[in-house]
Structure 1
Amino acid sequence: MRTLAQVNAMPPDAFMSAFGDVAEHSPWVAKAALRARPFTDREAMIGAFELALQNATHGEQLALIRAHPDLATRARLTADSSREQAGAGLDTLTPEEFHRFTTLNEAYKSRFGFPFIFAVKGAGKHQILESFAERVNNSPDDEFAMALRQIARIFRFRIEDRISA
């Protein structure tokens, strides 16, 4: 856990090393947020990441959404994604639950062209499945906006885990 003073004093390469992975496989978000330093508080840092996402082109936003893994996948995950999914119980699914996630993942990606995004920290597998089943019926525009809101929540959780208040 770092202090905000330590974060503000980091050389750019050290900042990128420490926070370049906050946005899943998308270090451009941290690079854009870096330009907002010095951060006045942790909220300002989170806001800088969110602003980078909001100011991105539609194509950049879509690429970031698509960089996220399917939930409950057996694929190789980043350390953050593995920890977050395990915290939600997605690493201990029954065969039936795993099948349900797989079916919903495929239906969702077929409908929207990107994976279902849900900031899983603090949620359980049943809550996630319920949200999944509801959101697969959203309009593409509404779901794109929801994916961005969920990504912003992921930024918040990851930064809160790394920076003391």
Structure 2
Amino acid sequence: MTDSTLTPRPSQLDKAAFVAAYGEIYEHSPWVAELAWERGLDPRHDTPAGLAEAMGRILAEADPERQLAVIRAHPDLAGKAALAGTLTDDSTREQAGAGLDQCSPEELAHFERLNGAYKAKFGFPFVMAVKGSDRFAILDAFEARLENTPEQERHTAIEQINRIALFRLQARLAG
């Protein structure tokens, strides 16, 4: 995919319009978009990659408590919110794209057990940029990441959230 310019150009928007357009790129965390705008945007930020880099830097540089709040804003993969149909539109598309809406009852039970074990160990939900993955790869990643330390896992979750943001910005361009 080429890294074409987002329309309207993020660097040309006022704060309210920018936050309205990009405030939900980070799940229920419009403050990321607000701070990105406040730091200043220029034509380098008018592409999905450029804007994702600027917004990702905001999250990466945030204090651990703010990072944890963003991580905790994410739903469980194949969890109760997905089953109840209460995910954001972006999360619904992402989970369905990875086949999580097609899990067998046994697979759903496996996800439920892993979600519980992960939250018990880390205090936040497992976050993974699932685009290009399937439920089997996600389950493998889940089990592997349960071996991480809390600090390693917080950093991994932030990296995954920034990948999700890039994918969401690319999807908006394609849409």
Contact residue 71 and residue 90 of structure 1 kept, 8 A = yes
Query: Could you give the per-residue CA deviations for residues 64-86 of structure 1, whole angstroms, max 9, x where no partner exists?
Result: 00110000013111110011000
Instruction: Tell me which residue corresponds to 1:146.
Output: 156
Report whether the alignment pairs 1:26 with 2:26.
Answer: no
2:101 maps to 1:91:
yes
Percent of aligned pairs sharing the same letter: 45
1:39 CA displacement: 3.5
Q: Which structure would you say has the larger RCO, counting Cα contacts within 8 Å and 6 or more residues apart? A: 1
Code of the aligned partner of 2:104: T
Residue 7 of structure 1, CA deviation: 2.6
Of 159, 165, 170, the residue aligned with 1:160 is 170
CA–CA distance in 2 between the matches of 1:117 and 1:46?
17
Q: Secondary structure at the match of 1:123?
A: coil
CA–CA distance in 1 between the matches of 2:73 and 2:8? 31
- The match for 1:59 among 54, 60, 65 is 65
Residues paired across the two proteins, number: 164
**Which residue does 2:137 correspond to in 1?**
127
Partner of 1:71: 77
Q: In the alignment, residue 29 of structure 1 is paired with which amino acid?
A: V
Gaps of 5+ in 2: none
- Structure 1: which 5+ residue stretches go unaligned? none
Deviating runs (4+, > 6 A) in structure 1?
Answer: none
For residue 113 of structure 2, what is the aligned residue in structure 1?
103
Q: Which shows bigger deviation, 79-88 or 68-77? A: 68-77
Contact residue 2 and residue 162 of structure 1 kept, 8 A: no
Structure 1 SS opposite 2:101? coil
* Preserved contact between residue 69 and residue 115 of structure 1 (Cα < 8 Å): yes
Partners of 2:8 and 2:74 lie apart in 1 by 30
Cα separation, 2, equivalents of 1:119 and 1:139: 20
- Report the 3-state secondary structure (helix = DSSP H, G, I; strand = E; otherwise coil) of the residue aligned with 1:91: helix
Give the one of 6, 11, 15 matched to 1:12. Answer: 15
| 3-state SS in 2 of match to 1:163 | helix
**Which amino acid letter does the alignment assign opposite residue 149 of structure 1?**
E
